[in-house]
Amino acid sequence: MKKVISVLLIMGLLTGCSNYRDLNEVGLIIAIGIDLPQERESGYRVTYQLINPGYFSQNGAGSSLPVINYTVEAETFIEAYRMASLIIPRENSVTHLSLIVIGEALAREGLGLIFDVFERGESRSSFPVFIARDTTAEEVLGVIEPLESNPTKSIISTSENNEKMYAISEIVPIYRAISLLSGEGQNLMLSGIHLNKPLKSQNQTDNLQDIKPPVVEVTGLALFKK
């Protein structure tokens, strides 16, 4: 009898998987690009980059791309996130957010309102922030490279190599960027990225077949005053 009671007590301590969610049921947002709107007079144009689970399936790697980009425009950043649910066929999740890219034109108007959203949001605050120079964040996140077919990983890896080998750029996590903007005595500096040459085609499969494809290059610094 004592053994039965002991087993029951041990079973009561075991946890189940009641909150388990299959990857195919969740839209994992790994990067966000933020630009000035093209179809509105004010607001934001936001690009969400999601992992494509079909790419990692047994038969999907050769027939699909590893990520999918969805772009919406809205008056506020919060509204854009809600609107994304109208075109993303899965429940959005920013728990795996790894990168923020901000277009240069938008960055020149200030980052306070944008950073305030992330400071109060549910995503982790250690992901880096970059400025898309002479281009848009949407275009940068839309480049698939042969060696690193995940644009988010490619940008981060290239920046890490640059920082390690040449110390020209610095990877600045968003929590530090927020601290520098809200504090005094030191101005915020963010690394710049851009395409080393124009895209020949909007079809990313064509880019994968090019021996010298357009790639994302780490270049320059964005210095913010106040």
Element (H, E) at 174: helix 174-182
Q: How confident is the model at residue 8 (pLDDT cuts 50, 70, 90)?
A: very low
Buried b vs exposed e over 135-154: b needs ≥16 C-beta within 10 Å? bbbbbbbbbbbeebbbbbbb
Q: According to the model, what pLDDT value does residue 21 have?
A: 52
Q: According to the model, what pLDDT value does residue 59 have?
A: 58
Mean pLDDT of 116-131: 78
Classify residue 214: in a domain, yes or no: yes
Mean pLDDT of 102-130: 82
Classify residue 16: in a domain, yes or no: no
Classify residue 77: in a domain, yes or no: yes
Classify residue 220: in a domain, yes or no: yes
Q: Please name the residue that has the structure tokens 């922030």.
A: 129
Classify residue 7: in a domain, yes or no: no
Classify residue 15: in a domain, yes or no: no
Classify residue 85: in a domain, yes or no: yes
- Domain encompassing residue 102: 22-224
Q: According to the model, what pLDDT value does residue 69 have?
A: 92
Alpha-carbon dihedral 54, 60, 64, 67, rounded to 10 degrees: 40
Span of 95-109, 136-150, 206-220 with lowest mean pLDDT = 206-220
pLDDT tens per residue across span 136-164 = 999 999 888 777 778 888 888 888 888 88
Provide the mean pLDDT of the chain. 80
Domain total for the chain? 1
Q: According to the model, what pLDDT value does residue 18 have?
A: 47
Q: According to the model, what pLDDT value does residue 20 have?
A: 47
pLDDT tens per residue across span 177-194 = 888 887 777 788 899 998
Asked if the model's pLDDT at residue 206 lies above 50, the reply is: yes
CA distances, 200 to each of 62, 101, 143, 171, 209 (Å): 22, 22, 11, 29, 12
Please tell me which residue, 105 or 60, carries the higher pLDDT value: 105
Q: According to the model, what pLDDT value does residue 105 have?
A: 94
Classify residue 17: in a domain, yes or no: no
